[in-house]
Structure 1
Amino acid sequence: MRPDLCLQNAGRRYGLRGPWVLRGVDLTVAPGRLVRVEGANGTGKSTLLRLLAGIDAPSEGRITGRPRTAYVPERFPPALPFTAVGYLTHLGAVHGLTRTAAARAAGEWLERLGAAAYAGTPMARLSKGTSQKIAVAQALLAEPELLVLDEAWTGLDTDARAELERAVAERTAAGGSVVFVDHDPRRLAGLPDATYAVRDGSLVPCAAPGSGPSGPHVTVVAQGPPDGRLPEDAHRAVASAEETTPGTYRLAVPASRSDVLLRALLTARPPWHVVSVEQRADTPGSPR
């Protein structure tokens, strides 16, 4: 497993004598963690995300444990000399995929985000909403170890917003990390493992990590081999897991991660048997 990404006493300012945008930032992002960053406009949230993504280097302090990273910026430049699928295929190759694999992944993400009809459209002719779908797709092509999202949901339609939330759940269930900023306080509400606020150039914890997700949950009862362990991808997705009898688990999972859990169970080798699925308005079970 990759090491934690760590910011140690990190600071950032623009120009040798410019004011400090961030200073004294300490932050650890472990594999499989979902981290939300909050703060008023102009406080330095985007600067922090650019440091995490490796777009900017710290002016002081250091960053260690750099994972393979993908980044969706707040503003995506649409006027590029590519078609949508050409751009995604090119970016996939930059991320280390073969051209064939990159083209396949590009097609899959265009389909998932509802932009397949625009695969051959020049980037400069895409609407703002479709351009944002391309921005999201390019970040997800190569299954990054760290996904950094700066207002990535802005401009997406309802289906695409839901698909991005599903992709976030998939990344964390697979052991990847996701750090995000979004203006909507309901975005992924109750799911982050940690929430921080940027205030006066400092990073301040808002809630204790592991306080547990709240909100709509799904309870799944599943049976595996009597001596089997819960698949790792399933374990990462759940909020709580109770082994009621050998090989039988009662699993509470946030509704937005339920399809990730079910996929992990049904694609395990041997596959698990899903006994029941029940949606509840809230599950107070202990955090994972």
Structure 2
Amino acid sequence: MRLEHVGRRHGLRGPWVLREVSLDLPAAALVRVVGTNGTGKSTLLRLLAGVDAPTEGRVTGRPARTAYVPERFPVALPFTALDYLVHLGRVQGLGRAAARARAGEWLERFGAAEHAGAGLAELSKGTSQKVAVAQALLADPALLVLDEAWTGLDTGARTALDTAVRERLAAGATVVFVDHDPRRLEGEAEVVYGVEGGRVRETARVRAGAGGRLPAGPESAESAVPAVGFPPGGAGTVAAGGELREARRGPGAGMGGGLAGGAGPGHAVASSAPGTVGAGASARIVIVASGGGRALPGGLPGDPATAPGADGTTVLTVDGARSDELLGALLAGAWHIHHLGTEGGRV
């Protein structure tokens, strides 16, 4: 996966958060990102995961199965923990039985099985974080991006996440993470990127077969910077919290937010049943999307009503029973999904 001269700013005239980021993300490696607060670490992770698109430059070669755990998990979603995970598993291409089984397994591993039937809004911060992490691991992502994912977890869950990271690495995945604890997976990262002043540089790399870390510059990493199935050919990134950000058609493309699976990952809000967003199949679902200059795909499922939205987005409203199909069609057409909600209120 490669970032070429990538920059990201907020708004047309907002300040640049990152500029001229060029790097080759290694395959099958543990990658740590370090830097002080506010330097752009989270922005870099969102770009890697496909949750945000670059303002300038380009990202190529993102694995089809990409998963992302954000720093903050939005708990005000009208679903139970299990329903949320099952729906995301379905979006990633798992059958209902497989999605339910995997959801149960991950809740058990993170010590949250007893909360499977609880509403997300009723969960403690720590348990909500367990659900956020579980959604990212349901479909065995090839790229796992973790932004302070250990924060709020108890000791047992942190150990379980450490183990899950090592399992993904053993399976040939790449894991990129930020964590405030410098001892997190200490000595295991093969590459360290430092973020400072809107720039990103490789500060350390382990020499293959040498068993030692080589500084990439005159300083070490620690001193240099403080410390689904989507339609065939589609790709995306699923992230906790219900926003699907990027999808591209073709080899080496990816999508954006915490979980990915099937032919590609996606970022989606879970519901209590297929094709719904927690309000039943009769609900009208509102999807806010943008195509980056691409025309809206023709023949969209459910014959959605469309209207212009803010900042060049399009607002599509469709029956809940057809919402999953519509999301898949938009992703296959390389559209970004910004928000999902029910008519009359955002989910």
Taking structure 2 as the reference length, what is the TM-score of the superposition?
0.59
**Which of 85, 94, 99 in structure 2 is aligned with 1:102?**
99
Structure 2: 5+ residue runs without aligned partners? Answer: 214-347
**Alignment-derived partner of residue 191 in structure 1:** 188
Distance in 2 between the 1:91 and 1:180 partners? 22
**2:206, 2:212 within 8 Å by CA — same for their partners in 1?**
no
**Which of 121, 133, 156 in structure 2 is aligned with 1:124?**
121
Task: Map Cα deviations across residues 208-257 of structure 1 (whole Å, 9 max, x no partner).
Answer: 3437369xxxxxxxxxxxxxxxxxxxxxxxxxxxxxxxxxxxxxxxxxxx
Deviation at 1:96, TM superposition (A): 1.3
**Alignment-derived partner of residue 339 in structure 2:** none
**Alignment-derived partner of residue 160 in structure 2:** 163
Deviation at 1:204, TM superposition (A): 1.6
Q: Do residues 8 (structure 1) and 7 (structure 2) align? A: no
Structure 1: 5+ residue runs without aligned partners? Answer: 215-288
**2:3, 2:60 within 8 Å by CA — same for their partners in 1?**
yes
SS at match of 1:69: strand
Q: Counterparts in 2 of 1:1-288, with a 5 A limit?
A: 5-67=1-63, 68-210=65-207, 212=211
Deviation at 1:26, TM superposition (A): 1.3
SS at match of 1:170: helix
**1:190, 1:212 within 8 Å by CA — same for their partners in 2?**
no
Distance in 1 between the 2:141 and 2:109 partners? 17
SS at match of 1:167: helix
Deviation at 1:71, TM superposition (A): 0.4
SS at match of 1:25: strand
Distance in 1 between the 2:181 and 2:212 partners? 17
- Are the structure 2 counterparts of residues 43 and 62 from structure 1 closer, same or farther at C-alpha, using a change threshold of 3 Å? same
Distance in 2 between the 1:98 and 1:74 partners? 29
> Which structure is higher in helix share?
1
SS at match of 1:108: helix
**1:132, 1:155 within 8 Å by CA — same for their partners in 2?**
yes
Distance in 1 between the 2:212 and 2:147 partners? 22
Distance in 1 between the 2:206 and 2:21 partners? 17
Please give the root-mean-square deviation of Cα atoms over the aligned residues, in Å. Answer: 1.2
Deviation at 1:62, TM superposition (A): 0.4
Task: Map Cα deviations across residues 181-213 of structure 1 (whole Å, 9 max, x no partner).
Answer: 000000000000100110000002221343736
Q: Letter of the aligned partner of 2:44 in structure 1?
A: L
SS at match of 1:42: coil
SS at match of 1:203: strand
Deviation at 1:102, TM superposition (A): 0.6
Query: Which ranges of 4 or more aligned residues in structure 1 deviate by more than 3 Å?
Result: 211-214
Distance in 2 between the 1:81 and 1:142 partners? 23
Distance in 2 between the 1:27 and 1:95 partners? 28
Q: How many percent identity over aligned positions? A: 67
Taking structure 1 as the reference length, what is the TM-score of the superposition?
0.71
